[in-house]
Amino acid sequence: MLNARREEANRAFSAAAVLEDDSSATASSTTAVWKHWGNHLEALFLNNYSENTALNVGLQALACFLECARITSSTKSRPFIARVFWLIKMIYSAGSSLHQPLEESLKRSVGGIPAANWLFWVNEIVGDVKQRPSHTGTMTELLASVAEAYPQQVFPVLRANLDVRKVRERVAKGKWRFFKICHF
């Protein structure tokens, strides 16, 4: 009975997202659909926290909140991006087999979100890169794209949080070309 209701809810949210996705829909109504669907999927994920649920439901919830962040302004996207970071940590801790699907999901979704929406979260992105250096290719690319768009806002955060020698090495190797204008 409960599974049937969950499936019915998923079909209803899916239908609502398809109906709201047309060009005549307003951004706020489309955001509401994605937000409510993300909340529903997040609740399912947390009620049955496991590696399988994280793979099937957690990544879908993450995609919903990333979509909300993509279609809203930088100020209105903050609560959604906060949920994204929280879900990343929850999914990452659910099992090591989820690291690759999580990276792939992030790689597909974060590129479409404007750099201005991520600017408020630079400290969190840097913290994520420091915490999981071997599994943060997408976060490093995201940090680079935000830094290219807003180098003066990102540089002090990087300088305060990262080893200066590592930053200099990356600039010298040409990996962080946006810091060529900065002198340190």
Task: List, for residues 75-134, the tens digit of each pLDDT value.
Answer: 999 999 999 999 999 998 888 888 888 888 888 888 889 999 999 999 999 888 888 766
- pLDDT for 2: 54
- pLDDT for 183: 40
Mean pLDDT of the chain, nearest integer: 80
Q: What is the pTM of this model?
A: 0.79
Question: Residue 74 — pLDDT band, cuts 50, 70, 90?
Answer: confident
Q: Where are the domains of the chain?
A: 1-113, 115-184
Residue 16: pLDDT above 80? no
Using alpha carbons, list the distances in angstroms from residue 167 to 5, 7, 57, 161, 173: 52, 49, 37, 10, 10
35: tokens are: 């937000």
- pLDDT for 120: 94
